[in-house]
Chains A and B, each alone.
Chain A
Amino acid sequence: MELYATGFDAWNQLNFNKTDPRSNDEPSDLRAFTCILRDPVIRNVGAFLTYTSVETSSGNTTAGIVPKEHLLARKLRGIDHRHSSCWAEALNGSFVILNTTDFKLEQYSDSKNLRYMAGTLLNAKDDAKQTFRVGSIGRPVQQLLAYDTGFVALTADGEVYTWGDERYSLCLGRMPTPESPADKPGLVADLVDLPTGRIVKIAANGYLLAALTSGNDLYFWGGHPAQEPLIEEILSGCPHPIALGDHDIVDVGVGESHMIALTAAGQVYVIGVNQNGQLGTDTHHRSKDWVTVDLGLHQSQKIKGVAAGPRTSFIIVEGLRP
């Protein structure tokens, strides 16, 4: 398999060739999709601001600089194959850890609490801890992600829950009420009973959130009142279906100001800001419309998935270029 990437590379987070991320050389950003990894297994691409982690045939590998708190979280929780993420950190420092046995979510207002946790293994200082449960009791949480000021979780039943800072209520995709306040997980009712089936995947970064249905429809919500909307005229507190021509969309990645989507026909589209080359296109600053990306793959190769970090994009390809 091959992993292609483009975008922000200030810490060699797109370079798996064991380059010293602490060198004084200044890496340039990648401004076009470039093959950065070949391995029989490539899955679970974790794309963070300062590093990338990928599961390969020889285990988990990272590129870039992993923050201390993330190292602790990874050590504490490991990488659970049944879940693409068992913890998430928002930009405002709040940290959520998913207990993969009872699917309780433990939230800390400051990631520094992880240091206590690492010492006493889960007997953290309780004063800053909140415990949540989402969905019906005992049903697994399939995906847990952070956006800049909150979190989003997808249950195995296809229910999407959001919680976070009420000042950015667009990201919640729901109206906070006294019964279901902003800072406690609340069901995004607009993503229930959709015409093309339940939600099977979520993606989030910055102030943007997206969800994909089993019938290949893409829903999008969020936005920051002081930032230009990613898709024209969509600055929305309600999940909004996104049309990409007539294409069915099978995978999606969301960055802080850009988005990448994979169609059922195997085509990749990007939209948004290109400041750090995250679109991998010639456009210099921003693309207001979806643009297709051509990797120039061999006919034996097939695109399996896409992903996005805050300022990076990834394409996972099955098969090797001969």
Chain B
Amino acid sequence: MMAQIPLGRCIRAAREIAHECNDVLNPTADPALRPCLAGCGEALIRLLERQALKLENSRNTRPSGADEYASGAFKPAPVNKELLGQRLEDILSMAYSKFYSYPYENLPVCWRQLYTDASILKFYFLLLTGSFVRAVITGGFRLHDKQKLEEEVAAMVKVLDMAIILAGAAGEKRGRKWINEAIDELHTCWTKLCEDENAPVGWESERSRHQRKKTKRTPVWEDALSFSTHEPFTPPVQNPIRRTTRDQMFLEAFQTYMDRPVDPSVGPQPLIITGLISDWPAVTTNPWNKPSYLLSRTFSGMRLVPVEIGRSYVDEGWGQKLIPFRELLSIYIDPPQPAPLSPSTNTTVGYLAQHPLLTQLPSLRADILIPDLCYTSPPGHPTDPSQNQPELDEPKLNAWFGPPVTITPLHTDPYHNLLVQVVGRKYVRLYPPTEGRMRPRGREGGVEMGNTSLWDVGVEEGWDKEDGDEEEEDKERRKKEFNEIPFVDCILEPGDTLYIPIGWWHYVRGLSVSFSVSFWWNGGVDDGEWRDSSLSS
């Protein structure tokens, strides 16, 4: 059977987008049904509509229903490919400049949808103008240059991943679902092309191909190489966090643990739960510690991921960029020649941090299970109710994947957190929310940084080099002050889960190649405190 080429869905999407644009421009439409795109204004909607119509028409088939939205004014015209490609870029760049100009939480959703829909059209444009479709239908790699096809496919994946990462794949009709399915279809086509390349040329009948497919076993990853467990530096654990097992800390026990803290003014204490993830595919059949497995789940490493470059997000020279997963592995995480990674050298550290990777890659999401413990109802913030957030419908998942010596500086989060260590080891240090000596940052460059501390644990402990030319005396006084603040700490082993209660300051340092997943959750706040404040604001 021929693999599904994502062309059909593209034609339908172009038609839908043109319809939506027409609904925006047509004032007779019911205002309650006005598409979200309306907020982008007439000029951009007309521009988007024209490109959608052009793409839809470029198939030389006059689609049914074309008349009703073109109101007779539309004439099929020969398509100027170069101009079409440029106009799609124009729409993307105009939508993107909106992303910068607003603080992200204030960005009207119409701009995210405009970016997403223009990305969908650009994906269609690349499919139409490249040789990928022809290769799938006809000759495979026998007639087409594999490297060129691979570049084409990577460019198509990139367009859709940018829409996911930058624009959150916004839009009700198409959005994330459309993009996920399109990538799946593309992946199936690509896999088939690659399989055909390995099959003997010419003689293989449909029947034998079918049989080969049937007998093909799922790959076994046991023999594949694992990530290095090398640790350039291992800090000492000074005040170990209590450890318990999954059997002891079942759902009800955990609820009680949180409800009845030793010291109610501080709230529940941090806790390590072992064995919580022993049944996750990520640590059994679908091993996340094998680069080859991760590549197989990221479209041969072509999927794009955001990477933080630099030691820590408060450092000078820190930046973020989007790179293919394959490059994240080959340049930053698992370089062929292990670079001497230590903060004292100038080696650049690349960290996939706080990214909803598992939402972006549903196939990796299937390798983990949301711990039962996230279905408890934890207490609110022990000292500052204004920190409490509206109740989450489901836990917020983030992935943290990086080489040794990635650092998340000392900070607090407005949720309870289960930090699950899947691959490698991490050092974590915590300070209670009641600690008054944490030196929170203020507003920095227009960004609220009050949840991040000025203390650099690595520098104060002498694990990392200090920059700045402070007086020796000041340095000593500061170190003394720092050393007086009580804390708890631990090294998380693969399979460990650390419970970080809301409001606790935490410093996280990767020791080896490390892959963690964090689950943020909260409970309904009984006293209705946040509800009142959110209503009055």
Contact = CB atoms under 8 A, between A and B. Distances in A.
Nearest to A23: B73
Contacts of A148: 97, 100-101
A24 interface: yes
Interface stretch (A74-82, A165-173, A228-236): A165-173
Interface string A21-57: 0101110110000000000000000000111000000
B62 interface: no
B1 interface: no
Contacts of A206: 97
A91 B90 CA distance: 16
Contacts of A22: 46
Q: Lowest 5 CB-CB distances: which A-B pairs, in order?
A: A166-B446, A167-B446, A50-B43, A91-B101, A92-B101
27 contacts: A11-B43, A11-B47, A22-B46, A24-B70, A24-B73, A24-B75, A26-B50, A26-B87, A28-B83, A49-B43, A50-B41, A50-B44, A65-B42, A65-B46, A67-B41, A68-B41, A92-B98, A148-B100, A148-B101, A165-B101, A166-B445, A166-B446, A167-B103, A168-B446, A169-B446, A224-B100, A226-B100
B77 interface: yes
Nearest to A67: B41
A182 interface: yes
Given A50-B44, A91-B98, A276-B90, 10 more contacts: A11-B43, A11-B47, A24-B74, A65-B46, A67-B41, A68-B41, A92-B98, A167-B446, A256-B97, A276-B86
B431 to A, nearest CB: 29
A204 interface: no
Contacts of B41: 50, 67-68
Given A8-B90, A24-B73, A49-B94, A90 B101 contact: yes
Nearest to B90: A10
Contacts, number: 76
B100 A10 contact: no
A119 to B, nearest CB: 18
Interface in A238-288: 256, 275-276
Nearest to A65: B43
User: Per DSSP, are chain B's interface residues mostly helix, strand or loop, or mixed?
Assistant: helix
User: Per DSSP, are chain A's interface residues mostly helix, strand or loop, or mixed?
Assistant: loop
Interface residues of A, number: 34
A275 B86 CA distance: 9
Interface residues of B, number: 33
A149 interface: yes
Contacts of B46: 11, 22, 65
B193 interface: no
Given A11-B43, A26-B87, A65-B43, A182 B446 contact: yes
Nearest to A69: B41
Contacts of A68: 41-42
Contacts of B47: 10-11
A169 B97 contact: no
B80 A26 contact: yes
Interface of A: 8, 10-11, 22, 24-26, 28-29, 49-51, 64-65, 67-68, 90-93, 148-149, 165-169, 182, 206, 224, 226, 256, 275-276
Interface in B46-84: 46-47, 50, 53-54, 70, 73-75, 77, 80, 83-84
Nearest to A165: B446
Among B53, B84, B445, chain A packs the most CB atoms within 10 A around the CB of: B445
Contacts of A169: 445-446
Contact of A26 (B54, B101, B102): B54
A251 B510 CA distance: 55
Interface in B91-111: 94, 97-98, 100-103, 106
B316 to A, nearest CB: 12
Among B70, B74, B77, B94, chain A packs the most CB atoms within 10 A around the CB of: B94
Nearest to B91: A10
Contacts of A90: 101
A163 to B, nearest CB: 12
B92 to A, nearest CB: 12
A24 B43 contact: no
A164 to B, nearest CB: 10
Nearest to A8: B90
A276 B447 CA distance: 33
Contacts of B42: 65, 67-68
A67 B41 CA distance: 7
Nearest to B75: A24
Contacts of A29: 86
A68 B42 CA distance: 9
Nearest to B320: A226
Contact of A24 (B50, B86, B443, B446): B50
